[in-house]
Amino acid sequence: MFGYVVPGLDRAAASVEAWLRTSTEGGSDQPTFDEIDLLVWADMAGLADAIVDVDLRFTTSAAVLTDWSAFLASRPRPWSPTIREIMSGALDAQDMTNVEDRLRPMVERGEVPRRIQSFAYLTAVKAA
Q: Which residues contact 94 (CB under 8 A, 6 or more apart)?
A: none
Residue 48's pLDDT is 92
Q: Does a structural domain hold residue 2? A: no
Residue 112's pLDDT is 80
Residue 27's pLDDT band (cuts 50, 70, 90): very low
Determine the average pLDDT of the residues in 23-32: 55
Average predicted confidence (pLDDT) for the chain = 86
Q: Does a structural domain hold residue 18? A: yes
DSSP string, 45-92: TTEEEEEEEEEEEEEE-SS----HHHHHH--SSTTSPPHHHHHHHH--
Q: Does a structural domain hold residue 99? A: yes
Q: Does a structural domain hold residue 3? A: no
pTM: 0.68
pLDDT digits (tens, 9 = 90+) for 107-122: 999 888 877 778 889 9
Q: Does a structural domain hold residue 120? A: yes
Q: Does a structural domain hold residue 63? A: yes
Q: Does a structural domain hold residue 20? A: yes
Residue 30's pLDDT is 56
- Total number of domains in the chain: 1
Q: Does a structural domain hold residue 36? A: yes
Domain containing 107 equals 10-126
Residue 61's pLDDT is 67
